[in-house]
């Protein structure tokens, strides 16, 4: 009987898109038999910036119960799925700072062989979604992690826009997702868990 995989879904979301991606990943991870934690990168923006955008304030208030990510979540996890909006072609500062604070884990070798994958969003189809995912993977290379991209391993990827690096989605001006990516997210999560099962089993 295979050991249970611990999956951490670590996200940052200002208005809810990446939170929804994280929740879909959680659902698929649970269905795949993983023990799943959904945690958020701590907010860095000042209150005046948040309050200037009603959707941002509403989302923060609605997700007060979601725990903030810590180093313990990374150490606990066999597999990690990151989800971050694009900020000028990079991960959001909130996610980047969280990753930058993991030097202690990295230095002690506790990030080695973590099985990782990443997702992103932007306000237009070519707004840096792929670059954001690749920037997260660059950090993961330094960690010695095992990167698991979805590639073109399932038909759902094509319907979601065909991003082989990780699921990405466009958020329209109304705040809604413009592509149907639920199945792609769930496939990516299942694939990440499947690879982590094999790694944990020593195959």
* Single pTM value for the model: 0.96
CA distance 2 to 137: 27
- Here the tokens at position 170 are 């466009």
Q: What ranges do the domains of the chain cover?
A: 6-201
**pLDDT value of position 130:** 96
Give the pairing type, strands 90-91 and 146-147.
unpaired
Q: Which among 165, 67, 160, 72 has a CA at the least distance from the CA of 116? A: 165
- Whether residue 43 contacts residue 27, with contact meaning beta carbons closer than 8 Å, is answered with no
May I ask the CATH class of domain 6-201? alpha beta
pLDDT by 10s per residue, the chain, length 203: 467 999 999 999 999 999 999 999 999 999 999 999 999 999 999 999 999 999 999 999 999 999 999 999 999 999 999 999 999 999 999 999 999 999 999 999 999 999 999 999 998 888 899 999 999 999 999 999 999 999 999 999 888 888 999 999 998 888 888 889 999 999 999 999 999 999 999 86
Alpha helices in 32-181 (DSSP H): 47-51, 54-62, 71-76, 93-100, 103-107, 129-143, 156-159
- Dihedral of the alpha carbons of 108, 112, 114, 120, in degrees to the nearest 10: 90
**pLDDT value of position 1:** 44
**pLDDT value of position 203:** 63
Looking at the DSSP bridge assignments, the partners of residue 121 are 85, 169
Alpha carbon distances (Å) from 163 to 27, 72, 154 = 21, 31, 11
- Whether residue 25 contacts residue 185, with contact meaning beta carbons closer than 8 Å, is answered with yes
| Length of the chain (residues) | 203
Q: Which among 84, 76, 88 has a CA at the least distance from the CA of 137? A: 84
- Whether residue 84 contacts residue 120, with contact meaning beta carbons closer than 8 Å, is answered with yes
Q: Which among 94, 85, 137, 142 has a CA at the least distance from the CA of 116? A: 137
């Amino acid at each position: 009987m295979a050991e249970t995989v611990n999956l951490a879904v670590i996200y940052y979301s200002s208005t809810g898109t990446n939170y929804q991606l994280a929740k879909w990943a959680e659902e698929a991870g649970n269905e795949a038999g993983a023990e799943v934690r959904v945690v958020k990168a701590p907010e860095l923006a000042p209150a005046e910036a948040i309050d200037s955008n009603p959707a941002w304030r509403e989302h923060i208030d609605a997700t007060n119960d979601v725990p903030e990510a810590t180093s313990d979540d990374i150490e606990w996890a066999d597999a990690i799925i990151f989800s971050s909006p694009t900020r000028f072609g990079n991960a959001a500062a909130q996610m980047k700072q969280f990753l930058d604070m993991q030097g202690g884990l990295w230095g002690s070798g506790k990030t080695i062989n973590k099985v990782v994958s990443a997702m992103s969003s932007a306000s237009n189809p070519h707004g840096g979604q792929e670059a954001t995912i690749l920037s997260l993977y660059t950090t993961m290379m330094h960690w010695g992690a095992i990167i698991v991209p979805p590639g073109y391993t399932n038909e759902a990827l094509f319907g979601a826009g065909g991003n082989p690096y990780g699921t990405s989605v466009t958020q329209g001006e109304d705040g809604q997702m413009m592509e149907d990516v639920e199945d792609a997210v769930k496939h990516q999560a299942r694939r990440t868990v499947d690879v982590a099962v094999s790694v944990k089993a020593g195959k």
